[in-house]
Structure 1
Amino acid sequence: MLCSVTASLHTNSSLESTSSLSDDKSTDLNNVPEFKNINTNRLFLINDQVKLIVDLELFEQIQQESHGGWNKKMTEVPEKTIRVHRITEKGDVRIKFESDTSIRWTIYSFLLNKIDQKFESGESVLVNFDERVIKSCLKNNWDENYNKIVGQICKIISLKSNGDLLLNFNDTEYSMPRDLCYKILDPILDDNYSTANNLQESTKNAVDNFKKHGFENSKTIVNNTDQINIADYFVKKCSNGSLNKVKEVLEKFRYVLDEKSYGKTGLQASCYHGHLDIVNFLLNSGAQIDKTDLDGDTALHYACFGNQPEVVETLIKNNASLNCLNKNSCSPLHVAVNKQHVNCVRILVKYNCNTNIQDSYGDTPLHDIIGKKMTNEAIEIIDFLINSPELNFNLVNKRGFNIFHQACLKGNHIVTEKLLKKFPEVINIQKNDGYSALHLASLNGHKKIIECLLKAKVDLEMRTNRNQTALLLAISKFNFPIIEILVENYANVNAYDEDMDTGLHLISNETIYDKNSEKNSSPAKIKLSDLNKAIENLNQCEFISEVIETLPKEFKSNIRVIIAVYLIKNGANLYSRNKYNLSCLDFFKDEFTKKILIEYYSNLNCDINLSRLSLNYGLKSNESDRCKLCDEEPITVTFLPCNHKCVCIDCSIRIKKCLECHHVIKEKVDLNGTNLNFSKTEFSELLEKVKNMEEAQQCPICMERKKDTTFQCGHTVCNFCSKPLVNCHICREKIITKIRIYEN
């Protein structure tokens, strides 16, 4: 299996960024000489049942070093039955709960071990690589001699009665708990081991075994050669590019054409190494072009993995299955895209491969490339895929992300701009949970993405299923540059979520409820790393920095007060109450802080950020703010419960379902919050009355100006029309006097 590919295909970060934002200071396993040939893929297999081998205190400490981060809900890990979901590129283990597979955490691999491992005397085992973990498990039995076997491969002498293992390392005996020892998986049987390593290791002894039968130094083949050794030798020569030897073997042993050596055929080996002459010879000899290895990979997969575009084109011209899938549902295009082999991608797209194929995670090739570093090759591949006429941008992976959501989640502004240019209609598409691209970018602090979306006229007031706006999500994550850019673009600072918590509630409450993960979440303290990152980001905020300058000295470093004052300056209601009847002031225990906020609110309530006001402040200034039906009047009506705004008051009368989400409208309110739920008949009657009243006040002659002059007969016209009249225009009586009417 091309697991070095498939492992890197699926390194998606969680929807909400809960891990530490600090640099990874943890131990890099690849930099340790004794451990460089051991990777986590050889310690754990997918779906292995595992357990935590340390206490919660050490668990939290190590996780906070950026091995996936720490979340308070991870305290449930020791109580649950957990299994391996996958291995990350860094070697950490992504685990899932057996009782609820939707809950997944990334955990440092050496905090885990498999349950009920069976050991036998004489076996080799790997000792846990982390000294802190070993000290924690050994407790009082630790001494400095154990440093010698940390991360080393030792041989089991015997199994002790208490379950511990007696190990031998450099002729010295050590007693070690079995939870600190790992059985190393056979790379040939290990589904997680890379194809390249398998291919190299699988045939290294084949030639020596085959020489015993005299084949290497003879032009004739001896009769007693066993089939396995011939297959090994044949695959080895295909891999090395020895065309004459390949021909010589096939002349005498035709059956080895499609035989496998450690799961790989000669065609697959030659495709990986790019030996085009051997590939053509094998195809002309009748090799099965779509034969798969143990993991479902075909010769075309191998050619893409080895970056052999000429071989790729040759295979396609010989009718290789262009969209074949391996056991992980990865197509050759997935492999070429993930490895950023641009020439292979060019050939595959040229021959109209399916660019919408989804792998076992629901990811298309474009999903995969979005999370990669944007090299020149990656950008060229992205252009190939986006410009594919068959590209379906509505396809979502198993986490509900389409390609536009994925780009905004990963902070890839290059893909975001390209998609907006080609498919502008994707900008406000929401996931099943209500999250849009704007929500994802705000939650994860991607400022460049926000700028792209604002430039494309994104709807700032879209709501998640929990009634959260992008601004509320940014506030909950202390993403201050995002808060500023949204507020400066007139996001509603008084928007509230399902608990009627406004931004002021969220920033004032020292204990924030993680509303982004579970409906009934328990309170979780904001992490110190998040606060430190927030303080650093304040330097990027021009308008928030201006607020800091106006604050008393004791509040210049209080980020909660800083943002609270900034929101108040931009119109936030200090006294707004949530569903628990609490205002933001109720979260501040310090009376002096309350006093400061009240003073700012009182002073600024009548003078909201005058420096930003203009003659057009608050006015609708672009086409997107006009009614989507008549395209004339400004948008003034909000539909409930979806909170979408798209029409004027006149057009809203005829609408039963929201134009954006197509949900049934239960209530309509205007800008002042007045309920507009009245029937069409009632509205028509009211409109008729208003019309009659207006007509009664109009001059009956010009039908333009208001009546303001009356005659002695009682009939009335405007002053302009009265001047030439000699007789009343209604009763024809001679006009004796003209009386002006003045309003109070």
Structure 2
Amino acid sequence: MEEENTKSLIKAIQQGELCSVRRQLNEQVNKQSVIYSHFGKSGDTVLHYAARYGHMNIVRYLVEELDMDIEVFNSDYKRAMHEAASMGHYECLRYLIARGAKIDCLKKADWTPLMMACTRQNLEVILELLDHGAEPMLQNKDGWNAFHIACREGDPAIIQHLLLAKPEVWKTKSKTGRTPLHTAAMHGCEDAVNILLESCSYEPDCKDSCGVTPFMDAIRNGHIGVAKLLLENHQASPCAVDILGAQPLHQASVTAQEKALSFLVGNLGIDVNARATKLELTALHYAAKEGHTSTINTLLALGADLHARDTKGRSVCFPALHMACIGQHAETVKTLLQLGLSDTEDNAGNKAREYAKKPHIREVFESLDI
């Protein structure tokens, strides 16, 4: 089929123009060859386009009049069922199911139609799939199931229906040990977190493979409301540590969540100079390493001590300066130097300059005559 004719056919399908689609296909010498052609990089067929745009009349025409196989898949093994579920086209989905489409067919990365429906928060489509035996416990390549995805999106009704359909689904973990509670906390879904805390039996401070807790996820993404829920209703610890010994305080410094830092220190009384136990780093170190100048100022306002000593008697401020240089963060380097750092202690300036690989970092030292 010529490229111009291909574009015309696809456009007619996208716009739902059945008469035009029928006419163009009737003009083809080998109609069956055309309907099973794979278009573009994705390798979609005409049935994929029809299901994606929800045009029932075209889907029915392709399946009933042209006897097209509803299980035809594209380059990612995606079928019409995936398209209808993903885009929330209830009537198309019902029709495909009635014609015998596989409920739990897998596309690339092992995604099912139910998983894709959960990304769109379409309860009607999800209930239709569940009513016809869709399995919420199936996992994709990352170990996520439909419930993890629903908790990421945060629709309370969908979460509750999945729990009704499969009460044990909350117990599942991803391949990195993350629970649906981690997912809901990370994405700031307060309603979802509430349901999970009320209906499920997660252990306080359950950790993933990196030692991260749901409270840490909430804090490092700036979701203070979720963090409060976990503190009040789940006895979460605000100073639990991950596998590197980093607390939520340190993680919030990495992601520059300044309101979360103020909440931890000002409301919860967390020590702003606390160290990550394995790396002996303070929140200032982490902020400097990432080049978060504003976060450094926030930490100083909260009482961070530039001249605190580590276990070997070294001043904290100089390693922070080194980290800023290693990260090539000129503005952060300038801020730390202007805070009063000099060569007088630990030969800090000379050591830091060794890490200044780019001219614009070295220029900072020169401009301040250090």
TM-score over 0.5 (shorter chain): yes
CA distance, structure 1, for counterparts of residue 65 and residue 347 of structure 2? 89
Q: Relative to structure 1, is the Cα distance of residues 474 and 226 closer, same or farther in structure 2, using a 3 angstrom cutoff?
A: closer
* Whole-angstrom distance in 2 between the partners of 1:424 and 1:396: 14
What CA distance in whole angstroms lies between the structure 1 residues aligned with 2:169 and 2:241? 25
- CA shift, 1:292, in A, is 1.4
* Gap runs ≥5 in structure 1: 1-199, 217-221, 516-522, 536-556, 565-581, 590-744
| Distance in 2 between residues matched to 1:348 and 1:529, nearest whole Å | 49
SS class of match (2:321) = strand
CA–CA separation in structure 1 for the residues paired with 2:217 and 2:100: 43
Q: Find the partner of 1:316 among 130, 134, 137.
A: 130
Contact persistence 1:257–1:266 (CA under 8 A):
yes
Larger Rg: 1
Aligned to 1:389: 200
- Structure 1 residue corresponding to 2:298, chosen from 477, 481, 487: 481
Residues 313 and 438 (structure 1), Cα distance of their counterparts in 2 relative to 1, 3 Å cut: same
Letter in 2 for 1:406: D
Following superposition of structure 1 onto structure 2, how do residues 109-508 of structure 1 map, counting pairs within 5 Å? 211-214=23-26, 225-226=31-32, 229=35, 232-243=45-56, 246-247=59-60, 249-251=62-64, 256-261=69-74, 263-338=77-152, 344-345=158-159, 347-351=161-165, 352=167, 354-355=169-170, 357-359=172-174, 363-368=178-183, 370=185, 372=187, 378-392=189-203, 394-397=205-208, 399-442=210-253, 446-454=257-265, 455-456=267-268, 458=270, 461=274, 463-468=276-281, 479-486=296-303, 496-501=309-314, 505-507=315-317
Query: Do residues 560 (structure 1) and 366 (structure 2) align?
Result: no
More strand per residue: 1 or 2? 1
Superposition deviation, residue 312 in structure 1: 0.6
Report how far residue 244 of structure 1 moved: 5.3
Q: Number of paired residues?
A: 323
Q: Give the Cα–Cα distance (whole angstroms) in 1 for the partners of residues 333 and 192 of structure 2.
A: 38
**What letter is aligned with 1:354?**
V
2:251 counterpart SS class: helix
Report SS of the residue matched to 2:110.
coil
Q: Of the candidates 514, 527, 547, which is equivalent to residue 323 of structure 2?
A: 514
* Structure 1 equivalent of residue 40 of structure 2: none
Shift of 1:529: 1.7
Aligned 8 A contact 1:239 1:270 in 2: yes
- Cα displacement string for residues 449-503 of structure 1 (whole angstroms, at most 9, x for unaligned residues): 344334445467565113445577679887243234346xxx9x986324322xx
Residue 294 of structure 1 aligns with an amino acid whose one-letter code is: K
Instruction: Please tell me the residue identity of whatever aligns with 1:436.
Output: Q
SS of aligned partner of 1:434: coil
Alpha carbons 1:512, 1:526 under 8 Å: kept: no
CA distance 1:284–1:524, change in 2 (3 Å) = closer
Distance 1:466 1:418, change over 3 A: same
Instruction: Tell me, in whole angstroms, the C-alpha distance in 2 between the residues paired with 1:271 and 1:442.
Output: 40
- CA offset digits 1:498-549 (Å, max 9, x no partner): 4322xxx233x4983439xxxxxxx7488332256x59xxxxxxxxxxxxxx
Cα distance in 2 for residues equivalent to 1:394 and 1:318: 36
| Conservation of the 8 A alpha-carbon contact between 2:310 and 2:316 | no
Question: Is the 8 Å Cα contact of residues 427 and 437 (structure 1) preserved in structure 2?
Answer: yes
Higher RCO (C-alpha 8 Å, min separation 6): 2
Identity of aligned residues (%): 17
Q: 1:411 to 1:500 in 2, by over 3 A?
A: farther
Unaligned residue ranges in structure 2 (runs of 5+): 1-9, 38-44, 351-370
- In structure 2, the partner of 1:103 is none
Give the conservation status (yes or no) of the 8 Å contact 1:329–1:360: yes
SS in 1 for 2:26: coil
In the alignment, residue 94 of structure 2 is paired with which amino acid?
A: N
Over residues 239-266 of structure 1, what are the superposed CA-to-partner deviations in whole Å (9 max), with x where a residue is unaligned? 4445455455544666713223554323
Change (3 A) 1:409 1:343: same
Q: What's the CA shift for 1:391?
A: 3.6
For the residues of structure 2 that align with 1:340 and 1:441, how far apart are their CA atoms?
23
CA–CA separation in structure 2 for the residues paired with 1:327 and 1:525: 34
Query: For the residues of structure 2 that align with 1:347 and 1:359, how far apart are their CA atoms?
Result: 21
For residues 546-695 of structure 1, the aligned pairs below 5 Å read 558-560=338-340, 584=345
Amino acid paired to 1:424: Q
Shift of 1:318: 1.6
Could you tell me how far 1:430 is from its partner in structure 2?
1.3
Q: CA deviation at 1:289?
A: 0.1
Per-residue displacement from partner, 1:215-238 (whole Å, max 9, x unpaired)? Answer: 99xxxxx9x642661694444444
User: Structure 2: how far apart are the matches of 1:301 and 1:369?
Assistant: 16
Residue type at the aligned position of 1:300: L
Change (3 A) 1:408 1:226: same
Identify if the C-alpha distance between structure 1 residues 437 and 284 changes in structure 2 by more than 3 Å, giving closer, same or farther: same
Distance 1:359 1:410 in 2: 20
> Within 1, Cα distance between the matches of 2:121 and 2:200?
25
**What SS is found at the alignment partner of 2:133?**
coil
TM-score calculated relative to the size of structure 2: 0.65
Q: Cα–Cα, structure 1 residues 238 and 353, in superposed 2: closer, same or farther, change >3 Å?
A: farther
Query: In structure 2, do the counterparts of structure 1 residues 248 and 525 end up closer, same or farther at CA, with 3 Å as the change threshold?
Result: closer
Query: What TM-score, normalized by structure 1, do the two folds share?
Result: 0.36
Q: Give the structure with the higher percent helix.
A: 2
- Helix, strand or coil for the counterpart of 2:70? helix
Matched-pair contact (CA < 8 Å) for 2:285–2:319: no
- Identify if the C-alpha distance between structure 1 residues 252 and 261 changes in structure 2 by more than 3 Å, giving closer, same or farther: farther
Question: Quick one: distance in 1 between partners of 2:15 and 2:91?
Answer: 25
Question: 3-state SS of the aligned residue for 1:496?
Answer: coil
1:295–1:327 contact (8 Å) kept in structure 2:
yes
